Structure 1
Amino acid sequence: MSAKPEDAKIKLPPQTAPADVLFAMRAFARTEDANCVAHKLASYIRLISSVINLERLDGVTVAYDYDAALAELDRGVEGLRTLARSNDDQLVGVAMSPAVLRDGKVKVHLVFSGAYIESIDATPEEDDAEAQSGMQQAIYLIAHECAHVQVTTEKDEAFPGTIFQKQVSSYEEQIFTQINEACWDEYAACRFSAPFGSGHLAYYEEGLRGVVGVARQKAAAARDGFWKHRDLNRIVGELGASMSEPLRMTAYTFGHIDGSNGDAEISQETRQAIEEAGYTEAIEKLVAQLRKLWDERGEWMFPSEFDVLGDVARELFYEEGLLITPNGEGANIQVWDPAMYDGPVAA
């Protein structure tokens, strides 16, 4: 006799989260609230660990003093830059998954802002759409940060001795390595966590439209400012950030799409915004390379395989009058006005 549908059971893969994960609950008004959130969060993380590899999870911090929690996190390595949340007109950080070193092994510690996690302990009524949405957003946030554990694990297994130990050889490499890592890490994390974020694509598309729509205007303003201050480091930061931010948001957007099993696609509104900003070719190149790197997971040989991501940004910089090329431990940086000249004329 065949089983009735209601009798069917789904067997999840084994949980991968360590049994002894420590939870630090900071600046909660009441101990009982901290305990409830910690127990509920631990349950969600263990469930997520059935589909996302959390073997390298170091611990979890939930803090109402989020900025202080980031600044005070012991990462096991001396001399690292103090962690700080993203905080600009496009993004305010509420969670982070930094790598840490414990007994010589690279792991990942999750840090959450308490204000964005507390809703997982709520029991909203079925007709309370706002509360239900808040809970779903919190669960997706947890899954996304958990996905970064697997992303970091895969990179450390592919390139052992690189994280925390390999020194960047030049200023030019540092610039483009940051872009490589930002694009790949967010693409892969979004692709792993997409099943937990149904409906979240709209938020990523909104962010992508926002940054791509102002990228070239910001780049032009940075270039205009350069002729007054003549600070090469400053224009790299200002023009480079404005032109590469749409690539990072593309990684979020298409990582989510590619992880949604064909159930999501980019909207015509976003396609039009990309085209109007002159980013269509760059984004097509970036997405193709991200997908190729994903398909080759487990077969990577060298970190330089990710340089194809930074090369997309390098071409965008050139379009806006900024050329960055290797020069020993530094970089050759040339700036010009693309409306007046075809190539570099000032350094």
Structure 2
Amino acid sequence: MPQLWYKCATSQTDCILAVMATDSHDLSTESELLTSLPDIAVSVQGFGSQDTAQALGNGVIHLLHEVGRFIDISSLDGVTIAVDYDAALRDLDRGIEGLRPEERTKDGILTGVGKAILVKRADDVKTHLVFAAEALSCLALKEADSGLFYLALALIAHECAHVEEHARRNRQFPGTLLNEESLGFVPACLRQFSEAFWCEYAVCRASANFAPNEGDGFREALKLRLEPARREAREAIKAYRTHGDALRVFNEVGLAVIEPLRMASYLFGHLDGFSGDLTDVTIELPTNDQAFVAGITELVSQLRDLWDRRDHWESHDDMLVLGETAFDVLRLCGVDVQPSANGQAHIAVPITLDTIP
């Protein structure tokens, strides 16, 4: 087992666990693969019982050690497991002043319980993992429910795959991650959309074998986003005819349109990684709306191409084709965005019969 030492923090409800991960710590009798888990600190926060905190920390460290045999987590900065997940996200020291605090995904459909956050340590870019304690609490038990255990394993593996993905891009394109360069409105959106699609596809594909039961969850998430997307876009455009706020209609239609594409990135990354064969995209889409069928089909094709040559991109901007596909779908759903002078954007919302109030 990994050697652990414990130190009570100033608060009696906090416990810090430091893992000394070395090549001699072979927990598996089935594999001679060495773990990539580095020497890190795991902070378990908010528990009234130190024994429970230590048990949970041990359980997480054990899984990190095992996942680290197959996913490269050598650039892992540390792990925080917190009862108050939102506070842990806000309070994380990211090593750079002025960065916007991280927030969990929480939109009425999906609620985030784990996040891989880029941090700067000296001259190195690393990734710190933050988890909601509730999502991993079964790991503190001697005999955990198998369903909850596999959910915890899938979550940890997914976030570990973010560590690997971040490190891969940082090696290929030093200085790109955590770069606060000023971009115009359209280029910034292209980058944001593209990174969201690519990262989730790549991470789900890399961690798929640790998440054999997650396919239906990804399908349901895509369905929940996709089925109302066109209606929500139309209603937002109808409202625009009255309020006239171009940025507002872009944000509202963008949310309705981009989220199904992001959910599709999760699903097809998982399916491509788990099955070993490339799934027919149209079979998995719960819609006949051709704007989304064509757009998601094109997006998945682009993601697969980027994956196949992921160590050989010509530049970090290779991924921007993904954002361009998103803008194509956005245009088909009624909002056309083009760059204009001074880094701004021209947002056009053509009048159509189905978007007249």
Residue 70 of structure 1: aligned partner = 89
* Kept after mapping to 2: 8 A contact 1:212/1:277: no
TM-score normalised by length of structure 1:
0.89
- Between the aligned partners of 2:66 and 2:335, the Cα distance in structure 1 is 47
> Is 2:157 the partner of 1:138?
no
> Is 2:253 the partner of 1:239?
yes
- Between the aligned partners of 1:103 and 1:211, the Cα distance in structure 2 is 40
Residue 114 of structure 2: aligned partner = 95
> Is 2:31 the partner of 1:11?
yes
TM-score normalised by length of structure 2:
0.87
- Between the aligned partners of 1:111 and 1:58, the Cα distance in structure 2 is 11
Residue 345 of structure 1: aligned partner = none
- Between the aligned partners of 2:30 and 2:278, the Cα distance in structure 1 is 25
> Is 2:60 the partner of 1:47?
no
Q: Tell me how far 1:266 sits from its aligned partner.
A: 7.3
Q: 1:104 aligns with which of 114, 123, 147?
A: 123
Q: Tell me how far 1:276 sits from its aligned partner.
A: 4.5
> What SS does the corresponding residue of 1:260 show, helix, strand or coil?
helix
Residue 166 of structure 2: aligned partner = 152
Q: How does 1:165-314 map to 2 (within 5 A)?
A: 165-262=179-276, 270-271=284-285, 273-276=286-289, 278-314=291-327
Residue 161 of structure 1: aligned partner = 175
- Between the aligned partners of 1:170 and 1:282, the Cα distance in structure 2 is 24
- Between the aligned partners of 2:279 and 2:213, the Cα distance in structure 1 is 11
Residue 315 of structure 1: aligned partner = 328
* Kept after mapping to 2: 8 A contact 1:213/1:277: no
Provide the identity percentage: 33
- Between the aligned partners of 2:108 and 2:329, the Cα distance in structure 1 is 22
* Kept after mapping to 2: 8 A contact 1:209/1:270: no
Q: Tell me how far 1:124 sits from its aligned partner.
A: 3.7
- Between the aligned partners of 1:221 and 1:101, the Cα distance in structure 2 is 42
Q: Tell me how far 1:265 sits from its aligned partner.
A: 5.2
The one-letter code sitting in structure 2 at the alignment partner of 1:111 is V
Aligned length: 326
* Kept after mapping to 2: 8 A contact 1:62/1:112: yes
TM-aligned CA distance change 1:114 to 1:17, over 3 Å: same
TM-aligned CA distance change 1:57 to 1:36, over 3 Å: same
Residue 128 of structure 1: aligned partner = none
* Kept after mapping to 1: 8 A contact 2:55/2:139: no
Consecutive unaligned residues in structure 2, runs of 5 or more: 1-28
* Kept after mapping to 1: 8 A contact 2:37/2:65: yes
> What SS does the corresponding residue of 1:98 show, helix, strand or coil?
strand
- Between the aligned partners of 2:290 and 2:226, the Cα distance in structure 1 is 6
Q: Tell me how far 1:178 sits from its aligned partner.
A: 1.1
Q: 1:38 aligns with which of 57, 78, 88?
A: 57
Residue 345 of structure 2: aligned partner = 331
1:210-258 deviation per Cα after TM superposition (whole angstroms, max 9, x unaligned): 1110111111111112122222221121101110111100000000011
1:28-69 deviation per Cα after TM superposition (whole angstroms, max 9, x unaligned): 121110111111111110111111010110000000010000
- Between the aligned partners of 1:339 and 1:152, the Cα distance in structure 2 is 45
> What SS does the corresponding residue of 1:78 show, helix, strand or coil?
coil
* Kept after mapping to 2: 8 A contact 1:219/1:238: yes
The one-letter code sitting in structure 2 at the alignment partner of 1:74 is D
* Kept after mapping to 1: 8 A contact 2:291/2:333: no
Residue 25 of structure 1: aligned partner = 44
* Kept after mapping to 1: 8 A contact 2:234/2:354: no
- Between the aligned partners of 2:130 and 2:258, the Cα distance in structure 1 is 26
Residue 6 of structure 1: aligned partner = none
1:112-159 deviation per Cα after TM superposition (whole angstroms, max 9, x unaligned): 00011111222447xxxxx21111101110000010001111111111
- Between the aligned partners of 1:266 and 1:291, the Cα distance in structure 2 is 12
* Kept after mapping to 1: 8 A contact 2:55/2:141: no
* Kept after mapping to 2: 8 A contact 1:122/1:135: no
* Kept after mapping to 2: 8 A contact 1:52/1:146: yes
- Between the aligned partners of 1:196 and 1:312, the Cα distance in structure 2 is 30
The one-letter code sitting in structure 2 at the alignment partner of 1:294 is W
> What SS does the corresponding residue of 2:331 show, helix, strand or coil?
helix
Consecutive unaligned residues in structure 1, runs of 5 or more: 1-8, 126-130, 342-347
RMSD between aligned residues: 2.0
Deviant stretches of 4+, over 6 Å: 266-269
* Kept after mapping to 1: 8 A contact 2:282/2:293: no
* Kept after mapping to 1: 8 A contact 2:204/2:269: yes
Residue 121 of structure 1: aligned partner = 140
